[in-house]
Amino acid sequence: MRCLLIAIALCCAADRAPAQEIGPGWPVWGGDPAGTRFSPLQEITPANVDMLSVAWQYHTGDSSVLQPDMPASSFLATPVLHDNTLYFCSGFSRAFAVDAETGRERWVFDSHPDTAGVETAKCRGVALWHDKRAQDKAPCRTRVFMGTMDGRLVAIDADSGAACADFGEGGAVDLKSGLGLVLPGEMAMTSPPVVINDVIVQGAMVKDNSRLNSPGGVIRAWDARTGRLRWAFDPVAPGSPSPRLLGAPVGQLYHSGTANSWGVAAADPARNLVFVPFGSPGLDFVGGHRQQGGVDVDYYANAVVALDAATGQVEWSFQTVHHDLWDYDIAAQPVLIDLEQDGDVLPALVQATKMGHLFILHRETGVPLYPVEERPVPQTRVPGEYTSPTQPFPTFPQPLHPQRIDAADAWGLTPYDLDACRAKIEAAENDGIFTPPALHKHVLIYPGVAGGQNWGGLAYDPVNNLLVMPQNYVVTHNKLLPREPVDVAEGNQLEIPSRHLGAAPYVVQHEVLLSPFGIPCIAPPWGSLLAVSLATGKKVWEVPLGTPRDMLPALAWFPLFPTMGLPSAGGALVTASQLAFLGASLDNYIRAFSTADGRELWRHRLPAGGQAVPMTYTGEKSGRQFVVIAAGGHAYMRTTLGDTLVAFSLKK
C-alpha cells in the first residue's frame, strides 16, 4: 500500500438541459463536446442495475506485463462511438476499432512510436471527424485522430484503419516542430484533441519538472483534411518578445517553459469556442524564474482559456491559481452547461480544480457567475522566489475540500503510528492551503498534488441539477534543498529521490504524508464520490469510494477497512435513469451509484485497474444499453496492469 499511495503524488434542477443536444451515443471523449458525460439512456435503472453482467471483453495485447520491453503502460482510454463501432487507443500508441455489440475486432492501427526516453505510456482517447464534403465511401471520409507517445498527431481512416496519407506527412504531423530542443520522451500527446468544425485543436503533455527550458505548451489547430497548421497559441503574456528576439535557436517558434494543457479541452461549436485547461509552468515547486527577459510564463498558467477556434485569438481567460508552487495544474476537462440564475438561463462553464474549488464562469465572457474572492495567503521566505499576495476562492459552491489539517487531525491504526503522524504534522510548515515551499523544512500540501479533483473531473446530472465527481483526500509534503551542494547523507534518506531541476537553485524532496505503517496520516476516507447541487451550492451526498479490504483481501479481518475510501484516477458518467457509473478507485472495481442519494447499487471486479472514464450507448442491432470501461491499470498508481476493454449489459 505504501508504494500505491506514494505513487499517487506523482501522477497524476430537474428538466434542465445540458449546454448542447445530447443523443444516445458517445461520439466524443466526454460524451458530448461540452464534456457533460451525461447520457439520456434509461434501460439500466436503479431497479435492475444489479443484473448487469459482462457482455464481451476485448484484449488489446498492449500491456507492459505482456511486453516487458515496452514502457510501463496505463490503459486509460474512453472509447468513442460511430456507426456501431467503438474507437479507442492504447498507451502504446495503437488505435483500435471493435464492434460495439460483440467486441469483435474490425482493425488495429500501429503508429510505430519511438519509445526512447518514455517512462510511462498512456492514451486517454481519440477523436472523430466527419468530412461533410467527401462522397459516401470515400477513403478517410470519417477520420480517427490520435496522439502518440513520441509527439505526433496521426489521422486514420475510420473504415479501413489505414493512415490518411493526405494529412500532414503520410498521415501524421510532428508536434515537436517549432519547440526547439525536445529530449527523448519529453513530450507526448496523452489526451484526445478537440474537433470543432473542420479544425483539430490539440495540447500535449510536457515533462515540465525536469529543466527550466522545457518545451513550451503551445496549443495548435490543424486543418482536418490536410494537416496544415491553421493557428498556434503560445501561452505567454501579451506583448512578450518573440523567442527569436530572445536568442532562441533557428527553428524554435514558441517560448520554452510555458504551461501546457495535458488534459481534455471542451468545445462550443455554436460559438466556435474551445476552452483549454492549462497546467502550471515548470518547475512545479520552484518558480522564481518565470518572469525573465520580459516574458511572463505565468500569465495563462493554471487558467481556463477560451480560444476562437477559427483564429486562436483569446476571447477570455480565468486563472484559478496565481504563480502556482504546489502543482495545482488544471487537470479536469471544463464542463459546459446552461445555468438558471435569477430567472435567466445563462451559458456557463464549470471548472473543477485540484484544490476542491469549483469555478462557475459565464461561457462567453469568463466572468464568474458567483463572487470569487481574492484572499491573502502565506508568503514565501525562500531567496529568489516570490508568491502572489492573494489567491482566488469561490464562494459558490464553497470549497469542497478541507483547507488545512492540524496535529489534532492526525490519525493512525495504533498509538505508535498516530504519534508519529502527529509529530510529522507538528514539525512541518503549515499555514493552510497555499503554504509555499520552504528551505530545509517540510511544508504540508493539502489538498495534495493529486487533488481534490484530478483529470477524472465532473459529470453533470441535469435530471437532479447535480455535479457528480470523485475527490481525493491525500496530504503531500515537500521541502527545498539548495542545489549545490546537496548533503549526500540527507539525500540518501529521501523516500523519493530529489529531482535535479536543470539550472534551478533548488532541488525538491516530495512525498505523501504517511505513517510508519505506510498508511495516510489523516482519517479516512482517502477518496470519495460526491454530488454538489447547482441550486444550493452544497454537497447533497458524499460516500467513500473503494476500500483496502477489496484491494487487499488479506486485510478483511480488520473491521474498519470496508468504510475506507481510496484515492482514485478517472471519472464518472451519469444517466437519465439516475445512475452514476465509476471505476477509478485503486481496488479495481467498477461501481454504480444512485445519483439521488449516493447509495452503491452494484459493483463488479475488473481484471485490472479501471482508472478511466466509462461510457455508455445503445447497440444499433440489439437495442441493448452497454456500459464500457477500459481495465488496464495505471502504472503510476501501481494498480493491476492489463489490456482489457470490458462491456456490460443486462442479462438476457
pLDDT in tens, 234-262: 999 999 999 999 889 999 999 999 999 99
User: For residue 629, how far is the Cα from the chain centroid?
Assistant: 16
The tens digit of pLDDT for each residue in 56-109 reads: 999 999 999 999 999 999 999 999 999 999 999 999 999 999 999 999 999 999
User: In this structure, what C-alpha cell is assigned to residue 483?
Assistant: 542545489
246: burial class by Cβ within 10 Å (0-12, 13-18, 19+)? Answer: middle
> Do 34 and 45 touch, CB atoms closer than 8 A?
no
User: Is residue 208 within 8 Å of 260, Cβ to Cβ?
Assistant: yes
Kindly tell me if the per-residue pLDDT of 501 is higher than 70: no
- Which helix (H) or strand (E) is 417 found in, with range? helix 415-427
> What local confidence, expressed as pLDDT, does residue 209 receive?
84
| Residue 47: predicted pLDDT | 98
Rounded to the nearest 5°, which phi and psi values hold at 115? Answer: -95, 0
Q: Where residue 605 falls among pLDDT bands split at 50, 70, 90? A: very high
Q: Is 327 a catalytic residue?
A: yes
Local confidence band at 24 (pLDDT 50, 70, 90 cut-offs): confident
pLDDT at 582: 98
CA end-to-end span of the chain: 39
pLDDT of residue 492: 35
Question: Model pTM?
Answer: 0.94
Asked if 192 and 209 count as a contact pair (C-beta separation under 8 A), the reply is no
More confident residue, 26 or 504: 26
Report H helices in 428-514: 488-492
Alpha carbons 543 and 561: distance in angstroms, whole number:
14
pLDDT at 6 over 50: no
Please enumerate in sequence order all residues whose Cβ is within 8 A of that of 412, keeping only pairs 6 or more positions apart, or say none: 418, 419, 420, 421, 515, 517, 519, 521
* Cα dihedral 6, 356, 216, 261 sign: positive
Span of 220-234, 477-491, 563-577 with lowest mean pLDDT: 477-491
Handedness of CA 190, 38, 329, 565 (dihedral sign): negative
Residue 112: closest CA among 129, 88, 95, 124: 95
**What burial class does residue 379 get, using C-beta atoms within 10 Å of its C-beta: 0-12 exposed, 13-18 middle, 19+ buried?**
middle
Contact 330, 278 (CB under 8 A): yes
Alpha-carbon span 601 to 622, nearest angstrom: 25
- What Rg, from alpha-carbon coordinates, does the chain have? 23
pLDDT at 292: 83
Residue in this structure with the C-alpha cell 497555499, named with its chain if needed = 434
Find the mean pLDDT for residues 469-485. Answer: 91
- Compare 210 and 94 and report the one with higher pLDDT: 94
Could you say which of 327, 329, 587, 643 is catalytic? 327
Position 213, amino acid: N
pLDDT for res 204: 98
Distance of CA 624 to the CA centre of its chain: 30
Range in 182-196, 211-225, 547-561 with the lowest mean pLDDT = 547-561
pLDDT at 335: 98
Average pLDDT over the chain, rounded to whole?
Answer: 91
Is the pLDDT higher at 343 or at 652? Answer: 343
Q: 131 with 224: CB under 8 angstroms? A: yes
Check residue 161 and give its pLDDT. Answer: 98
Percent of the chain whose pLDDT exceeds 90: 84
Question: Residue 355 above 50 pLDDT?
Answer: yes
Which contacts (CB < 8 Å, 24+ apart) does range 99-105 have? 100/617, 100/619, 100/620, 100/626, 101/55, 101/56, 101/619, 101/620, 101/621, 101/622, 101/624, 101/626, 102/56, 103/55, 103/56, 103/57, 103/58, 103/645, 103/647, 105/58
Strands (E), 193-329: 194-196, 199-202, 205-206, 219-223, 229-233, 266-268, 273-277, 291-292, 295-296, 303-308, 314-319
- Taking the C-alpha atoms of residue 74 and residue 283, their distance in angstroms, rounded to an integer, is 24
- Given this model, what pLDDT does residue 644 score? 98
For residues 205 and 291, the model is more confident at 205
* CB neighbourhood size of 203 (10 A): 29
Cα–Cα distance, 408 to 424 (Å, whole number): 12
Element containing residue 480 per DSSP (H, E): strand 476-482
- pLDDT tens digit sequence for 383-426: 999 999 999 999 999 999 999 999 999 999 899 999 999 999 99
Is residue 184 within 8 Å of 116, Cβ to Cβ? yes
- Write down the pLDDT at residue 21: 52
- Concatenating the DSSP letter of every residue in 123-155 gives E---EEEE-TTSPTT-TTSEEEEEE-TTSEEEE
pLDDT score recorded for residue 556? 47
In which residue are the cell numbers 470523485 written? 470
Reply yes or no on whether the pLDDT at 202 is more than 90.
yes
CA atoms within 13 A on the CB side of 80: 27
Q: Which three cell numbers stand for residue 634?
A: 495505471
Q: Which band of pLDDT confidence, cut at 50, 70 and 90, is reported for residue 488?
A: very low
Identify the pLDDT of residue 212.
Answer: 86
Q: How far apart are CA 532 and CA 536, in angstroms?
A: 8
